Amino acid sequence: MYNSDTPIRAELPSSKQLLRSTILAAISALVLLVVVVLPAEYGIDPTGAGRALRLTEMGDIKQQLAAEAAADAAAAAPAAQSPAAGTLGMATASAAGIPVTAAVAAAPKASAQAAAPKIAWRDEMPLTLAPGEGKEIKLKMAQGAKAQYAWVVEGGEVNFDTHGDAPGKSISYEKGRAVSSDAGVLEAAFTGNHGWYWRNRGQSSVTVILRTRGDYTEIKKML
């Protein structure tokens, strides 16, 4: 029974040709990973090509949705420790002969005494967000520069993304969902614009007030 001709040795690819094909395939896979997969899936765009192809925006949206889903799962978990801690505190106060009402009244005083001293801020910027609206404020910073910040939401809660960008570079420092305030130190991973994006997912308008100080040359509201 005749099936096929056996190829002669001259028709088979040489070791050099196989090696070249393997190297070309590996390079092609690496290019696709950097130019397409990383921007589209994770919002990471080291070359800038993903932003030009509008793939980075897709990746940012996917990461934000993943963060929101994780936040929903965390919010759904039962928080059983707080009531137990309160009951234990009242039981301890009762055992020590201290009236429960006195122990409860003493808590706000202790919190007030532990409050940090008032900070002299360099800039204060308010943003009003209608339902569904998003806005951002950026600081112009050099690599390694640090800026202290604190922001608070009046009238509700917001979703936020602390991030930075520069030509061919982007980074997300922190994201959150249904948050009413945040504070800390922002350290620039590279020279460029670094700041915050807030979105109001509530049913009524809110006002975000951002206070900053530190190593930045400019603060601006992004259009």
For residue 194, what are the β-bridge partners?
A: 139, 164
pTM: 0.50
Instruction: Name the residue among 40, 54, 59, 47 with its Cα closest to residue 163.
Output: 59
pLDDT band at residue 105 under the 50/70/90 scheme: very low
Would residue 156 be called left, alpha or beta, if left means φ above 0 and alpha means ψ between -120 and 50 degrees?
left
**Distance between CA atoms of residues 40 and 62, nearest Å:** 8
Residue 98 has pLDDT above 70, yes or no: no
Name the CA radius of gyration of the chain, rounded: 27
pLDDT computed for residue 38 by the predictor: 77
Residue 89 has pLDDT above 60, yes or no: no
CB 197 within 8 A of CB 163: yes
DSSP for 8-48?
Answer: PGGGSPPHHHHHHHHHHHHHHHHHHIIIIIIIIII---SSS
**Distance between CA atoms of residues 45 and 34, nearest Å:** 7
- The residue to which tokens 């919002």 are assigned: 43
Of these ranges, 27-36, 89-98, 102-111, the one predicted with the greatest mean pLDDT is 27-36
Does an H or E element contain 149, and which?
strand 146-154
Residue 85 has pLDDT above 60, yes or no: no
The domain made up of 123-222 has a fold known as Jelly Rolls (2.60.120)
- The residue to which tokens 């936040």 are assigned: 71
Looking at residues 86-97, what average pLDDT do you find?
Answer: 49
Residue 7 has pLDDT above 70, yes or no: no
Cβ partners under 8 Å of residue 111, min gap 6: none
Domain boundaries, the chain: 15-73, 123-222
CB 161 within 8 A of CB 175: yes
